[in-house]
A and B are shown apart, each in its own frame.
Chain A
Amino acid sequence: MLSRVAESLYWMARYLERAVHTSRLMDVDFQLRLEQSPEASAGRWLRLLEASQAPAPEDGKLDATTLSHILTLDKNNPSSIVSCVAAARENLRQVREQCSTEMWEQLNRMYLQVNGTTATESWQLNSYVFFRAVREGAQLFYGITDSTMAHGEGWRYIQLGRFVERTDALARLIGTHYTWLHSSPDQAVESEEYLEWVGLLKSCAAFEAYCKTYTAELRPLRVAEFLLLNPTFPHSVRFSVDHVQSSLTAIGELTDRKAEQAVRLAGRLSAMLSFSQIDEIMASGANAFVDSIRWQCAQIHNSIHQIYFDYPVEAALVA
């Protein structure tokens, strides 16, 4: 597979995952706003901006309309939903002979729909329809991908991009959350923070799954354990890292580059998540742990880039 093609598939998946993640954050925000005091919402908006690495508004005033504009329809913000869907589509367009026709048509349709949306008053009121369309569009795309594309090298790069992005986005979201909220770890969360913790879980599509595992009593420690270390829930960090590792192992075998650095780095991160204890993590601070995850994730990304996408020609000619 051409390096350029692999890189485009990887980034396509990263952008699409980012769009879905942001739409989930915005959807949750929309629901919470209805039940919360304005002050509580304002605090969350700052966290949302930080977690999305989006630029703060120039005049410093942050309200619901500005925030949702920045994170959804603003074409000047490269991580807004519209920008991400456009970037995903542009990446796929550059390699469209590599994907199935159905995949391209679905992503193109989604792009046309999202791109045609304008911020009107009625849009503000019904924006949950938009967020839902983004999520369902992406889910349809992944379903089509899994059933119409050979599960070979190209498919692996899509998986890789999707789960690298998810690992990073989850770690970032959890990090900001634990920095700002102060309920004590091993007790049920305080009532004024309750909605925020529900929001965190819902932002990771994890509320129902959490309740099934731990009952509806929310404790910061359990939430952290669930989102960081659960091996079977698709939006946990550990699950994502396991998929990064298995994708890299498969790619290593397909390309005869089994022992390269990227596979080892992913293995190390996966081992860290498999063998860590949640009380130890909380004792030394969830933030330090999350920072370490993000740093290792960045290392994995760099090493994928150097091994598969942009390797020095001299090295390849010797081999």
Chain B
Amino acid sequence: MFEAPGVPRPHYQALFQTLLGLPPEDMRKSQQAADLSFLHQGITFTVYGNEEGTERVFPNDLLPRIIPHQEWRKIENGLTQRIAALNLFLEDIYHRGRILADGIVPRELVYSCRHFRREMRGLTVPRGIYVSVCGTDLVRLPNGSFAVLEDNLRVPSGVSYMLANRKVLQKVFPTLFRDYGVCPVDHYAQALLATLRALSPASSSTRHEPTVVLLTPGVFNSAYFEHTFLAQQMGIELVEGRDLLVHDNVVYMRTTAGLRRVDVIYRRVDDDFLDPLCFRRDSSLGVPGLFNAYRAGNVMLANAIGTGIADDKALYAYVPAIIRYYLGEEPILENVQTYLLTERSQREYVLEHLDELVVKAVGESGGYGMLIGPHSTDEQREEFRQRIQAEPRNYIAQPTLSLSRAPCFLDGEAQARHVDLRPYILYGENVTLVPGGLTRVALRRGSLVVNSSQGGGSKDTWVLRA
């Protein structure tokens, strides 16, 4: 927020002025009103492995994060480029595998990935779109430019908080909205529905308007609030696995008026649990026979199965090369420097510098399975050292980033906390980004982990008009 101590960046000036003018008591009241509104709306998430009070309000911070138009244009172009390249990559590795034959990406890296699905080999998806909904985590580097920290290509969540935060802020700071010229984000649900409809199988368009449903793991999933919210905003049915059944490779849902055919499933269930006949047998969240119906082209899934290979944290290091290979362009958004532990020299460097680096398990997300070097104990480092030596393919290392900080209203005053940014990208007939995203905040002082499951919160993100 600040250029130099006490000197706010130009686009924060008005916000800063308004805040200085407000008595702290007013701010506290606004914060309480906002918190209560979240509680009453039941905007909560579920924490795993915690018996008591498993339903928690997602902490919201009142002070918005502001992104000038120019910076947003760059983010938009960079992410559009990235999703196009990653889709081409997925199509390639599940078909001819040119990029592997040309030696750009090592074959063993792809085949050893837990999220690579042999079942998808040779299966053609409509428009060649594997990833239609994507949430990419960006961080601001010390030089001020944004870089990609992680691609989330499986079932990215959080978009409902982006929309809910906006609603609350509009109530709290109506005049600031008027003065600032903030780009709206409300059309996200409509854009998502259009994206999903664009995927419907050719056969359905002659029959009727495609039936789109949202498949949720159920009320105990951490993102259940979001599933209900999106289904409601799009006006589509929210289904669980037990509501669907497959007969003759056609998917139906069980309604009070009998069975109804389903054309597109926006699934918020992981690959592993989608179809007990094909993937994990003990899954009761999925629909037996779903994969066969998918293969037969009678139903479409968003995102496709097997997209997790492209957000594998080790493969991430190759994304710039992937962009150059398929698009012949230079990547617009940088990557964060990443050490591959399968490479001997890099591994040795990492093992010597564990106290400076962040080590992440490649297949994990949500802030689980991480070692943050500077904040770790000797035992933790020793544990990771052994794990890395046992399975180098399972880990990567990155420098500890000094994530940029933004002011948050905590304990009655503005305090700086680390933040990241997750914009949401939709890819149907064309690529759509709603101007904004989820800014996640590490609410604990000094903490670098922003995940909601690890004590993170969020704040509204304002993209300014040109």
**Contact surface of A with B, Cβ cutoff 8 Å:** 1-6, 90, 93-98, 101, 104-105, 108-109, 112, 153, 251, 254-257, 308-309, 311, 313, 316-317, 319
Contacts and interface: CB of A to CB of B under 8 A. Distances in A.
A94 B220 CA distance: 10
B243 A3 contact: yes
B181 interface: no
B231 interface: yes
Contact of A109 (B40, B242, B253): B40
B415 to A, nearest CB: 29
B243 A2 contact: yes
A108 B219 contact: no
Nearest to A154: B256
Interface string B7-45: 000000000000000000000000000000001111000
B242 A4 contact: yes
Given A1-B255, A109-B40, A97 B228 contact: yes
A255 B259 contact: no
A313 B259 contact: yes
B231 A313 contact: no
Contacts of A101: 41
Nearest to A254: B257
B256 A251 contact: yes
B258 A316 contact: yes
B247 A2 contact: no
Nearest to B213: A2
A2 B253 contact: yes
A96 B232 CA distance: 8
Contacts of B186: none
A316 B259 contact: yes
B229 interface: yes
Interface in B249-286: 253-259
Given A96-B228, A153-B256, A308-B256, A2 B239 contact: yes
Contacts of A90: 219
A28 B143 CA distance: 72
Contacts of B257: 1, 254-257
23 contacts: A2-B237, A2-B253, A3-B254, A3-B255, A4-B242, A6-B256, A90-B219, A93-B42, A96-B232, A97-B228, A97-B229, A98-B232, A101-B41, A105-B42, A108-B42, A112-B40, A153-B256, A255-B258, A308-B256, A313-B254, A313-B259, A316-B258, A316-B259
Instruction: Give the contact-size bracket for chain B.
Output: 20 to 34
Contacts of B40: 105, 108-109, 112
A254 B258 CA distance: 12
Nearest to A257: B257
B215 interface: no
B254 A2 contact: yes
Nearest to B40: A105
A3 B256 contact: yes
B240 interface: yes
B371 interface: no
A247 to B, nearest CB: 13
Nearest to A107: B42
A202 B294 CA distance: 60
B231 to A, nearest CB: 4
Contacts, number: 68
Given A94-B219, A96-B228, 4 more contacts: A1-B257, A2-B237, A2-B253, A4-B240
Nearest to B254: A3
A99 B257 CA distance: 19
B238 interface: yes
A58 B41 CA distance: 40
A93 to B, nearest CB: 6
A15 to B, nearest CB: 16
Contacts of A311: 254
B168 to A, nearest CB: 14
A317 B259 contact: yes
B245 to A, nearest CB: 6
A313 B256 CA distance: 12
B201 to A, nearest CB: 21
Nearest to B214: A97
A154 to B, nearest CB: 10
Across the A-B interface, give the 4 residue pairs with the lowest CB-CB distance, nearest first.
A97-B232, A255-B257, A97-B228, A97-B231
Contact of A255 (B39, B237, B240, B256): B256
A289 to B, nearest CB: 32
Contacts of A1: 255-257
A317 B259 CA distance: 7
Interface centre among B40, B237, B245, B256 (most CB of A within 10 A): B256
Contacts of A6: 256
Contacts of B232: 96-98
User: Which residue, of B42, B243, B259, has the highest number of chain A Cβ atoms within 10 A?
Assistant: B42
A1 B260 CA distance: 10
A31 to B, nearest CB: 32
A109 B238 CA distance: 24
B41 to A, nearest CB: 6
Interface in B178-234: 218-219, 228-229, 231-232
B342 to A, nearest CB: 45
Contacts of A309: 256
Contacts of B240: 4
Contacts of B238: 95, 97
Contacts of A251: 256
B222 to A, nearest CB: 14
Nearest to A256: B257
Contacts of A96: 42, 228, 232
A108 B41 CA distance: 8
B240 to A, nearest CB: 7
Interface in B36-78: 39-42
A97 B238 CA distance: 8
Nearest to B232: A97
A44 to B, nearest CB: 38
Contact of B247 (A257, A308, A317): A317
Interface string B310-332: 00000000000000000000000
Nearest to B258: A316
Contacts of B42: 93, 96, 104-105, 108
Contacts of A105: 40-42
Interface in B376-405: none
B219 A4 contact: no
B243 A4 contact: yes
Nearest to A156: B256
A309 B242 CA distance: 12
